[in-house]
Structures are given as structure tokens and as C-alpha cells.
């Protein structure tokens, strides 16, 4: 496991991959995890001197075969328990699909689906990630000129019962 990302407080970076369907409906990508088969987003550890948004872009390609334009500024953050014991903070970056390749590193190990953000919120387990998908469903960031506004929530609950935090800086553990 790579070292923690210093003062940023980010352990991993992930991508919410989006595309606009015919009729303007927004779809997001979910993939299965390799170990449990749960629905997740492409995410992984930062490499040495790697920018968080570049990490999210790399993970989308390695885990899902997605090539796209990634936003530098995080959409938000979520926390989860790695292996049911280690709390990790993930910086989430929005990535707009440009191309979907057939051959990618983890193709044989994962399944993927394109669904509405509301459906994605029902399938992922992490409460903060659910809230990020719900915020995307309420305000399509790809068709709107307005960026999603960060929402601040005072106080933090324990990781097991985490609340959404779309603040500009990651939550502290």
C-alpha cells in the first residue's frame, strides 16, 4: 500500500465516469470490485508525485477501459473501510467519457454498467458516495453551465455512519 498522500489527507482517487445519452439523459459508470463483486467506481492509490485527478483518470482506464476528460477539482470525497478495518479517504473526480476501449488491464476481472446516477446511488454501499451520485442526479454537471456547489456539513459522524462531505478539502480521520 503506497504512503498516504501527505497533507492532502487523501488515500485514494476515484472517477465518476459520465456520459450523456440520446435525449440528454446522464449515465454514470459502475464496475464490480475484484474481490467481492460489489458495485464501485474506478479508484486506486496515488503513485509517487501523481496529481489526484491524473490518478482518477488512470484508474478509469485500467479498471474500466474509459478514456475521458477529467475535472482537476474534486467533486467531493468519501470514506470507506478497506478490508473492513482500514479507513481510507477517496478524492472523487468527474470524468466525461470520450472513448471506451475494449482492451484494458482489468477487463477479465470486472463487469461494468452504465446507469442513471439515482440507480448508482442505490447500488453502491458507501453513504457518502451515494450522496455524491444523488447530487449529480439532481444537477447534471455535464449539461449545466453551473458547477456543482460544494455543500458543507458541520461535524463528522464515524466512518460506518458517514455523512456526505462535498467540501473542498478532504475529511480528516
Residue 169 reports pLDDT greater than 50: no
Q: What is the CATH number of domain 6-161?
A: 3.90.79.10
pLDDT of 24-56, one tens digit each? 889 999 999 998 899 999 999 999 999 999 999
β-pair type (112-115, 26-32): antiparallel
Residue-wise burial string across 142-170, b where 16 or more C-beta atoms lie within 10 A, e elsewhere: eeeeeebeeeeeeeeeebeebebbbeeeb
CA distances from 135 to 18, 42, 102, 122 (A): 13, 19, 30, 13
119-144 tens-digit pLDDT = 999 999 999 999 999 998 766 665 44
Q: Where are the domains of the chain?
A: 6-161
pTM, 2 dp: 0.75
The model's confidence at residue 2, banded by pLDDT at 50, 70 and 90, is: very low
pLDDT at 9: 84
Task: Identify the pLDDT of residue 166.
Answer: 36
If you write DSSP's letter for every residue of 118-143 in order, what string do you get?
HHHHHH---HHHHHHHHHHHHS-TTT
Q: Cα separation of 113 and 43, whole Å?
A: 16
pLDDT band at 67 (very low <50, low <70, confident <90, very high): very high
Amino acid at each position: 500500500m503506497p504512503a498516504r498522500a501527505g497533507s492532502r489527507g487523501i488515500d485514494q482517487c476515484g472517477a465518476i465516469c459520465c456520459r450523456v445519452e440520446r435525449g440528454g439523459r446522464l449515465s454514470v459508470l459502475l464496475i464490480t470490485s475484484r474481490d467481492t463483486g460489489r458495485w464501485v467506481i474506478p479508484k486506486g492509490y496515488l503513485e509517487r508525485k501523481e496529481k489526484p485527478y491524473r490518478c482518477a483518470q488512470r484508474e478509469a482506464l485500467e479498471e474500466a477501459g474509459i478514456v475521458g476528460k477529467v475535472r482537476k477539482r474534486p467533486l467531493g470525497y468519501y470514506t470507506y473501510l478497506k478490508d473492513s478495518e482500514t479507513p481510507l479517504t477517496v478524492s472523487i473526480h468527474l470524468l466525461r467519457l470520450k472513448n471506451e476501449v475494449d482492451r484494458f488491464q482489468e477487463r477479465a476481472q470486472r463487469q461494468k454498467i452504465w446507469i442513471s446516477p439515482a440507480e448508482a446511488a442505490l447500488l453502491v454501499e458507501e453513504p457518502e458516495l451515494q450522496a455524491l451520485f444523488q447530487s449529480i442526479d439532481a444537477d447534471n454537471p455535464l449539461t449545466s453551465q453551473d458547477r456543482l456547489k460544494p455543500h458543507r456539513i458541520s461535524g463528522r459522524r464515524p466512518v460506518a455512519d458517514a455523512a456526505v462531505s462535498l467540501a473542498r478539502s478532504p475529511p480528516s480521520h
